[in-house]
């Protein structure tokens, strides 16, 4: 949707083909931390009205080790960069509302999507829609269809390399209409496992607990969730914790994944279609936004001047940033989670690294500049 708006703004015709309907996409709970590149793009597209009004600008974040809080003053460590808490669902709503007003065409409920002749001069897209079988001849196709989408598999295995880490735990997340425990986020490393205190608004909290991959939602009553969260955040923070009924509860697995290259012929991959990060650090949507920002520039250059240099450089340019975010998300996950095969040595190395971060401006700066988002 970001790319469709970018192209629309540049006078380049684009059609978005979506498997689900608008309600489904807007209803899916995703992460909620926007890097500056994402905020900047929303402003550039003039879709930042609600973001500017209700987005929560965070100048700092917190690490916690067995209840001991370590504040990271991101803004002063990075020369003024911040992140903005604003749910991905809200971003989608803004994109869809603006699409309706600006004639950005979205085809909903498209099933059996296939990509043909991606390496020819006229790639085409076929699908089954509300009007039966449809087909679109294109100059270019961009696969923004997520990890389970069809685009990546349209690239022949002989030209594709994939890299993967699967983590031996998941995240159990809840949403509840209670005030957040802190005005900033808390990434907590506890002997019993990771916890994250996040939020969507001053009256809506989002909390996560590291859990086993074999655990069942039915075994996690709200009471059990709040009790475990209180333990992992530690007594000082728990004393400020407001409990309440959850209205969303789900378990998500964690994965790192990259598929190279991000282009084959006239097919380009962007976002989760090409790469997955574990959620620690909230890089998923931000990375998709940086991919399509680069693609938008490349297509604009192509249609303006005929130059293919941006298009030809896209994959390596995008992957350079993707791998840095992969590295950071992997590192932040490794630093804060309890691994099943961890022994006393591993645990003390983790504790020593967090203690080192707490006393080193250099280490804090390395965390902060990655957290707020590396430059495009």
**Which chain residues interact with ligand DHB by CB under 6 A?**
31-33, 185, 196, 198, 206, 279-282
Q: Distance between CA atoms of 259 and 204, rounded to whole angstroms?
A: 36
Q: Which residues is 259 bridged to in the sheet? A: 162
Active-site annotation, residues: 58, 187, 279, 283, 371
Q: What's the closest the beta carbon of residue 59 comes to ligand DHB, in angstroms?
A: 15
Bridge pairing between strands 263-264 and 132-137: unpaired
User: Cβ closer to ligand DHB: 127 or 207?
Assistant: 207
* 161 phi/psi in degrees, rounded to 5: -125, 135
Integer distance in angstroms from the first to the last C-alpha of the chain? 19
Q: CB burial class (10 A; 0-12, 13-18, 19+) of residue 299?
A: buried
Cis peptide before 261 (omega within 30 of 0): yes
Element (H, E) at 222: helix 222-233
User: Cβ closer to ligand DHB: 281 or 310?
Assistant: 281
Q: What's the closest the beta carbon of residue 254 comes to ligand DHB, in angstroms?
A: 10
Q: What's the closest the beta carbon of residue 342 comes to ligand DHB, in angstroms?
A: 21
* CA gyration radius, the chain: 21
User: Cβ closer to ligand DHB: 206 or 337?
Assistant: 206
Cβ atoms of 316 and 30 closer than 8 Å: no
Q: What's the closest the beta carbon of residue 29 comes to ligand DHB, in angstroms?
A: 8
């Amino acid at each position: 949707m970001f790319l469709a708006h970018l192209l629309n703004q540049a006078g380049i015709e684009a059609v978005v083909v979506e498997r689900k309907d608008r309600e489904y996409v807007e209803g899916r709970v995703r992460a909620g931390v926007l890097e500056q590149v994402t905020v900047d793009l929303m402003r550039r597209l003039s879709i930042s009205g609600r973001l500017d009004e209700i987005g929560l600008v965070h100048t700092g974040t917190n690490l916690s080790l067995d209840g001991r809080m370590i504040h990271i003053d991101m803004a002063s460590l990075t020369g003024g960069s911040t992140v903005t808490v604003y749910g991905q669902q809200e971003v989608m709503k803004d994109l869809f509302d603006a699409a309706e007003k600006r004639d950005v065409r979205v085809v909903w409920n498209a099933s059996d999507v296939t990509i043909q002749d991606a390496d020819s001069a006229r790639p085409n897209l076929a699908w089954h829609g509300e009007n039966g079988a449809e087909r679109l001849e294109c100059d270019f196709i961009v696969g923004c269809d997520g990890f389970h989408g069809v685009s990546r598999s349209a690239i022949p295995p002989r030209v594709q390399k994939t890299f993967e880490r699967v983590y031996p735990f998941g995240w159990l997340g809840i949403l509840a209409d209670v005030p957040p425990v802190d005005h900033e986020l808390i990434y907590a490393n506890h002997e019993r496992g990771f916890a994250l205190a996040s939020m969507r608004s001053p009256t809506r909290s989002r909390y996560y607990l590291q859990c086993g991959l074999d655990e069942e939602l039915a075994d996690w009553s709200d009471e059990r969730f709040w009790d475990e969260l209180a333990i992992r955040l530690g007594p000082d923070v728990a004393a400020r914790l407001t409990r309440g009924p959850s209205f969303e509860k789900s378990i998500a697995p964690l994965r790192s994944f990259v598929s190279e290259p991000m282009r084959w012929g006239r097919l380009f991959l962007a976002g989760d279609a090409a790469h997955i990060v574990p959620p620690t650090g909230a890089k998923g949507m931000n990375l998709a936004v940086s991919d399509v920002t680069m693609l938008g520039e490349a297509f604009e250059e192509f249609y303006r001047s005929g130059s293919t240099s941006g298009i030809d450089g896209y994959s390596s340019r995008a992957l350079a940033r993707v791998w840095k975010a992969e590295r950071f998300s992997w590192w932040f996950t490794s630093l804060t989670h309890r691994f099943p095969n961890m022994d006393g040595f591993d645990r003390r190395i983790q504790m020593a690294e967090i203690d080192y971060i707490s006393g080193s401006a250099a280490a804090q700066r390395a965390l902060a500049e990655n957290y707020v988002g590396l430059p495009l």
